[in-house]
Amino acid sequence: MNLEQLKQLKDKAQKQINLREGGKKYRIVVGMGTSGVAAGAREIMTTMLDQIDKSGIHDVEVCATGEIGMVDAEPSVRVEEASGEKTVYGNVTLDDARKIITEHIRKGHKVEGIAIGRRKDQE
């Protein structure tokens, strides 16, 4: 383990916490139950955080949740929009993770091919 690497943690965590402050247009939720973690969900999350940082996007919050019952589609990523619309992406690769940020979050275009479900909340 490298102490120098650990020192970057504070900086990275601070950036992530800064994204939290309310009223965001998008909320990204990564499934991190045992099956998600085993399938690489952590790398999906860190890749998205890096891409958000690189692209200078602020209108998004990134969260993790536990098992969501989609064991055969992990890693999974859910994108929730302020309008109530939700898109679930399954079997997400690192490349897909970057595309979710550069296409969906930045431009508002859903990433076709990996979307496994969509729903608009009726509240």
101 binds another protein (CB under 8 A): no
Q: Which is nearer to another protein, 68 or 114 (CB)?
A: 68
Cα(4)–Cα(79) distance, integer angstroms: 33
- Indicate which single residue of 65, 85, 117, 119 sits in contact with another protein (rule: CB under 8 A): 65
Q: Per CB under 8 A, which of residues 102..121 are in contact with another protein?
A: none
Q: Select the residue interacting with another protein from 55, 63, 106, 118 (CB under 8 A).
A: 63
CA distances from 14 to 31, 62, 105 (A): 22, 13, 21
CA distances to 6, 77, 100, 121 from 87, rounded to whole Å, are 34, 8, 11, 11
- Choose, by CB under 8 A, the member of 23, 24, 26, 42 that binds another protein: 42
